[in-house]
Amino acid sequence: MIRKALGHMISCKDASRLVSRQEDAHLPLWQRITLRLHLSVCAACTRFERQLRFLRTAMRKYVE
Amino acid sequence: MPFAPRSAMPSTNFSRDLDQHRGYLLRVARLQLRDEALAEDVVQETLLAALSGSGFSGKSSLRTWLTGILKHKIVDAIRRKQREPSVASTFGDIESELDIEDLDGLFKDNGAWEAKPAEWGDPETAFSRRQFFDMMDFCLENLPPNTARVFMMREVMGLETGEICKELAITANNLWVILYRARMSLRECLERNWFADKAAGA
């Protein structure tokens, strides 16, 4: 399973799209695994994920 | 005696209560629609609907209930505008905002970040600064108009993606693209104009 997942490592570009998409929908299991795997080794995309969460909070605050 | 006084009295108070929320509703509508006259119209429609309807159960706050009505009025207005073949309208063809090739510049050919997202520290502290929200305003203004509207429908109005697709007659895939573009662009704008300064000043 792990080896198969590693064989499917995604790029930061693909990961950034999945990070955005998971804000709006529940990702299929396979996409969640490949994304988590990528994030576990990528500090930049981990920051990106945190920043998108922050963006959501910021938008709520913005209209308050 | 049965109903005349009962319906007259509370409605006066009720309309006064409603009016207290007008400013808030107008602000949300303006942000969402980017059209002053249209924003005034939807808020007026919302308050009228609230007055004539008896849907307020008191289970949620009055503001939440009004925002719910406003949400529908805004969606109706956007849908109406989209069908209008008006040149002057900023509600142009949404298709023209679907190209994300310009965002490809953010990544190298192998899909790695061209410039990695920076460390923002503890970004929530920005909420105590009024200037931060001015910056958000600036960054939102820089989005293509329909991209901004769709993003606001999702993040401010809290509509589910299925609803947005249905209301705007766009595919789920197009919606992902629009939301992705909005987030990439806002993130980049805030990093460049706000968080970069913070990091440099720290």
Same structural domain, B43 and B139: no
Q: Locate A46 and state its tokens.
A: 């981990």
Q: A26 to chain B: which residues are within 8 Å by CB?
A: none
> One-letter amino acid identity for B114?
E
The residue with tokens 């706000």 is: B194
Please indicate, yes or no, if residue B89 is contained in any of the structural domains: no
Reported pTM: 0.78
Query: Of the candidates B20, B52, B83, which is a domain's last residue?
Result: B83
pLDDT digits (tens, 9 = 90+) for A18-57: 999 999 999 999 999 999 999 999 999 999 999 999 999 9
Same structural domain, B34 and B66: yes
In a domain, residue B88? The reply is no
Which of A12, A48, A61 has the CB atom closest to B112's CB atom?
A12
Q: Is B116 on the interface with A (CB under 8 A)?
A: yes
User: Mutate which of A45, A51, A53, A64 to disrupt the B interface (most B C-beta within 10 Å)?
Assistant: A51
Q: Is the model more confident about A62 or about B41?
A: B41
Contact call for A44 and B176, based on CB within 8 A: no
Same domain? B64 vs B110: no
Q: What is the CATH number of the domain that holds B69?
A: 1.10.1740
Provide the pLDDT for residue B17.
83
Is A41 within 8 Å of chain B by CB? Answer: no
User: What per-residue confidence (pLDDT) applies to A8?
Assistant: 64
Q: Look at residue B154 in the predicted model and tell me its pLDDT.
A: 92
B161 within some domain: yes
Pick the closest to residue B193 from B115, B148, B131 (CA basis).
B131
pLDDT of residue B5: 43
Q: Who wins on pLDDT, A8 or A48?
A: A48
Closest CA to B80 of B169, B155, B162: B169
What residue in B sits closest to A60 (Cα-Cα)?
B156
Q: Which among B113, B154, B155 has the least Cβ separation from residue A44?
A: B113
- Structural domains of chain A, count: 1
B187 with A51: CB under 8 angstroms? Answer: yes
CATH classification at residue B150: 1.10.10.10
Question: What is the extent of the structural domain holding B133?
Answer: 94-201
Q: Is residue B24 part of a domain?
A: yes
- Do B54 and B151 belong to one domain? no
Q: What is the pLDDT of residue B4?
A: 43
Euclidean distance between CA atoms B38 and B44, whole angstroms: 10
CB pairs < 8 Å spanning A and B: 84
User: Looking at the structure, do residues B124 and B197 belong to the same domain, yes or no?
Assistant: yes
- Closest by Cα among B51, B27, B53 to B39: B27
| End residue of a domain, out of B83, B118, B140 | B83
Last residue of a domain, which of B33, B55, B83? Answer: B83
| Domain, as residue range, for A7 | 2-63
Residue B75 lies in a domain: yes
One domain, residues B131 and B196: yes
CB contact under 8 A, A11 and B112: yes
Q: Which residues contact B110 (CB under 8 A, 6 or more apart)?
A: A11
3-class state of residue B122 by DSSP: coil
* B75 and B160 together in one domain: no
Mean pLDDT (10-residue bins), chain B, 202 residues: 45 80 88 88 94 75 86 86 57 66 81 94 92 91 87 88 85 92 95 78 44
Q: What is the pLDDT of residue B85?
A: 57
Partner-chain residue, chosen from B111, B119, B179, that has the shortest CB–CB distance to A13: B111
| Residues B13 and B78 placed together within one structural domain of the fold | yes
Taking an 8 Å cut-off on Cβ atoms, the answer to whether B117 and A60 are in contact is no
Our count of domains for chain B comes to 2
